[in-house]
Amino acid sequence: MDAQLFLIKHLLILREQIAPFDIEFSVTHKELDFSHLLEHLRRILRGQASIFDWSRSPSLARTLSPRVLESQIDAKKELEKSLKTTCEEFIMSVTKLVVEPLLSFVTKVTAVKVALSGSQNQKLESGIAKPLKDHAFASPEKIAELLQKVNTAIDEDLPRVLVKMRLYLQNSSTRAILFKPIKTNILEAHIQVLSLLKKEYTPEDRQDLVKMVSMQDLEAKLDKLL
């Protein structure tokens, strides 16, 4: 995470430094390509060609010569691409840090529902037709445990992430832009799980769970971290 923030910081600095200069940042990159020699070597090994056939020396020389490949690289575009990729990686790493238990739960529920779409005989034989709450991973106790983990991550891990963001990114607008998709992912994960709980569990079952904060309270809590 520190490495990602360090890279984001310096890519932003570099972008800011080159922005005032209205010049061409494309460079031509040249490299030697020997890939075509492989087929010729195969022909020699099969006896279909010979390196001692001097009567065909001009074509042989061309065949054994490497090709020069040229490509243009736009430094500005490459910088923007690297910045975008690094930001996305950081966003996903923070999202997983906070709501990985919820994402894992939703994935398992989806897998169960896909299995339930099979034939009736398969359902009966495998026993997957039982209610969701009867599956080991979805018992009220397990749900309460994963909700507690997420609440702890929001209260303890996420603030530490924001401290690191302030350390590397002094601009509050930059931090807000980077934090917005993280906040959206956290809210979306809670919405998905809350929807599943309301659909698959009775009010009595939900009473045994760790109380999930409302979306309004959670959003306000996340906003205060900035």
Residues 62-73: pLDDT tens digits?
A: 566 777 777 667
**CA pair distance 193, 196, nearest whole angstrom:** 5
**CA pair distance 129, 116, nearest whole angstrom:** 6
Q: Is the pLDDT of residue 118 over 70?
A: no
Please compute Rg for the chain using Cα positions: 29
**CA pair distance 179, 222, nearest whole angstrom:** 9
86, 1 Cβ separation under 8 angstroms: no
Lowest mean pLDDT of 32-36, 56-60, 78-82, 136-140, name the range: 56-60
pLDDT averaged over every residue in the chain: 82
63, 25 Cβ separation under 8 angstroms: no
Q: What is the mean pLDDT of residues 94-122?
A: 83
- pTM reported for the whole predicted model: 0.73
166, 225 Cβ separation under 8 angstroms: no
* pLDDT value of position 114: 81
Going from N- to C-terminal start, the domains of the chain cover: 83-225
Q: Phi and psi (nearest 5°) for 46?
A: -85, -5
